[in-house]
Amino acid sequence: MQTVLFIVPELLPVPPTEGGAVEHWVHEVSQKLAEMGLRVAVISRPAHDMDGQPKIAYLGVPWTRAARLLLKIKQTCSRRNPLRSLAKVANVLGYALGVRRLVRLLNPDIIYVHNDPLLVLLIRKRAGQRLVLHMHNDHLAALLLKPILNAVLEKTDQVLCVSEHIRRSACDAAPKHVLKLATVLNATDPDFFKHYSNDEASQAVRRTHGDAEAFHFLYVGRLTPDKGAHVLIDAFTTVQSRFPQARLVITGSSFFADAPSTDYQRRLAIQAVALTDAIEFTGFVPHDKLRYLYSDADAVVVPSIWQEPFGLVVIEAMSSQTCVIATRVGGIPEVISHEETGLLVDPNDAQGLVSAMTRVVLDAELRKRLASAARQDVLRRFSYQRLSNDIATSLTQRV
């Protein structure tokens, strides 16, 4: 029986008590692989509850005071500030020391690193071990990684990507290693993110946004400029002037869980001040409550400006059988079929959002058709069972 050791990046724990897309992925897939008979272990920062699944070994790398300080620097610096990158690298180095010790102790058959190419270089791989790198973001194409990219990929036996968008970017950055690169589309849990009855959903979210007769748009995601919440508020201002019953719920924080408030969040609050009765900021909401927000919303809007690697919010909303409006960026067009399972608009185009949002307010049949088709597409293409089967197959193949 093979032992698979999942290693997540240096910030969040598994089980995903503080959120995190990668951490949720590992939590779900590790359980499925354990049920298939593989021995599975996970290295992360310590969770408050490390007893997520009895068949899985959870190994925590403790935080140090220095690591906490570096995290604070990273969270408060803008993406253009070099201190942000320096703090990130320093934290990875410290985390890697703990990871190396645990890898040596466990001695797995497969070392499976998530989303952190630098960790690949810092881990010692013995003869006979396989090393898999799973990319949830576009880091392999980053200029900062270019000097060490070939070394990372030489050490890696296989690179899996969450979308064709990510795989193509990686192929362009490292054409020498294209045979190692493959796409395994992301997934969600359609038994968890589903349509709940009006009573279930309303009871769960009533304290969040009140009036059940209003038309509710929902934003879910990090509150950072590249996610485009400011463009959505701009568009919603116009929509709400035409449809006074429209409401916008903005769910998320600058990172996850207890992330500090940022200048961007304060600018969003100022931008929304004229519509305080129509726009509500909920802060971070854990998955067990978020599912009801998705189900209760009339439409979910994903206004990203950057090239989204995949768009997990999109499939969570689709799985919840809620109409989705999203921007045509990165991997999102691989998930949404325009006019069939959702509506796509150009990024950074407030007027385009206004048009799409107006359509879904006015046309209940359109909302119903898109939402129903989206749910069926999730069941067909985006379940964790399908993803876990793909991963199990990839782990038995030699590249």
DSSP for 96-141, please give it: HHHHHHHHHHH--SEEEEES-HHHHHHS---TT-EEEEEESSSGGG
DSSP assignment string, 217-283? EEEES--SGGG-HHHHHHHHHHHHHH-TTEEEEEE--SSSTTPPP-HHHHHHHHHTGGGTTTEEEEE
- Of the candidates 206, 188, 218, 220, which has an alpha carbon nearest to the alpha carbon of residue 284? 220
Q: What pLDDT is attached to residue 202? A: 66
Average pLDDT over residues 364-387: 97
> How high is the pLDDT of residue 207?
47
Greater pLDDT, 199 or 128 = 128
Q: Would you state the structure tokens that stand for residue 124, as one six-digit string?
A: 């010692």
pLDDT at 50: 54
- Which helix (H) or strand (E) segment is 172 a member of? helix 164-173
Q: Record the pTM.
A: 0.90
User: Of 229, 241, 222, 211, nearest to 312 (Cα)?
Assistant: 222
Predicted confidence (pLDDT) per residue in 352-372, tens digit:
999 999 999 999 999 999 999
Q: How many of the other CB atoms lie within 10 Å of CB of 72?
A: 12
Q: How confident is the model at residue 211 (pLDDT cuts 50, 70, 90)?
A: low
